[in-house]
Amino acid sequence: MVNKELLDVIIIGGGPAGLSAALVLGRARKRVLVIDEGKPRNAVTQEAHGFLTRDGIRPSELRRLALEDLKSYSSVSLIKHVVTTVTGTDGCFQVSTSEGQTFEAKKLLLAAGMKDRPLDIPGLAEVYGKSAFVCPYCDGWELRDEPLVIINSGSELMHFAPLISGWSNRLTFCTHGPDGLTDEEREEINRHQIPLHTSPIRTIESRDGIVQQVLLEDGTAIPCRGIFFKPDLVPGSDLPEQLGCEMSDTGVVAVDMLGATNVPGVYSAGDAASRMHQAIAAASMGSLTAAAMNSQLNLEVWQSKGTTN
């Protein structure tokens, strides 16, 4: 079924970026539809941190409050569908869903975020979001001064090492295979007296979601109270590539400072377009991008009226 109304914006993804954008556009009197499949990546997380006035809130509660805010703006609606295809061009995009419906809008905002690939380390799924995390800004405070295992390798480990040291200096590095480090980098780790293990991880032992120790294939047992690891992420949707959006070398949608992609009329925000995977960063990006989209929509109407007169 094709819905006849031409909307101003369709937002694909109902996380902090998408909902923040919907709020800004709703307040700007734009007709907006948010399409979200209802499977947020942070569903495994017990609490969201670093979000001003909402520090420690459950992600599901943050979403509920956001939806309550949107109820004040009748031009904004939300449906729980999966987008299957997008066609059209700037001014009239057609968005089809798994429910057999098609919607049309002048502009698109891609905010479907990222998804985790299945975790390949036995025991990691049981602690993910409870005592194993990916972002120290989000969860480092709760594990401050605790013995931590860092699962990472290569240049990304060397970037992460000084960062995580601000929360705890009781660190052990596990590369879960070849470390990918240079001799100089290994020497740097050694100077900081941080144990470095390259043996694959056999399993992570835990109790009620709290890690107890990491067991390696070589028999080493590493007691710890928390884990930070590098997630294996893929885009939350293949729509950006379907539309011809350029992707950055980090695997996210390439956008300018206002969230615009290389495809006219298509914007992106949040984790889909940034490696700053924090709820407050995604919300901020969604807000700024929505303002840019509103400005462009208003300009187009202004210019068309000027031409008519």
Could you tell me whether strands 171-174 and 196-197 are parallel, antiparallel, or unpaired per DSSP bridges? parallel
pTM of the model: 0.90
**Portion of the chain with pLDDT greater than 90, in percent:** 82
CA pair distance 129, 229, nearest whole angstrom: 11
Tell whether the model's pLDDT for residue 42 goes beyond 80: no
Burial call 20-40: b when 16+ CB within 10 Å, e when fewer? bbbbbbbebebbbbbbbbeeb
Average pLDDT, the chain: 93
Residue among 134, 133, 120, 117 at smallest CA distance from 201:
120
| 205-214 own/partner pairs: CB under 8 Å, 24+ apart | 205/123, 206/123, 206/126, 206/127, 206/131, 209/126, 209/127, 209/129, 209/130, 209/131, 210/127, 210/130, 210/131, 211/127, 211/131, 211/132, 211/149, 214/149, 214/174
Residue 308 predicted with pLDDT over 60: no
pLDDT per residue as tens digits for the range 107-127: 999 999 988 887 789 999 999
Mean pLDDT of 217-223: 97
pLDDT of residue 286: 97
Q: Is the pLDDT reported for residue 256 higher than 70?
A: yes
- From CA 150, how far away is CA 125, in angstroms rounded? 16
pLDDT at 276: 85
User: Is 2's pLDDT higher than 80?
Assistant: no
Closest CA to 69 of 5, 109, 14, 138: 14
Q: Confidence band (pLDDT; 50, 70, 90) for 231?
A: confident
DSSP strand pairing (266-268 vs 102-110): parallel
Instruction: Average the pLDDT over 271-289 and give the result.
Output: 93
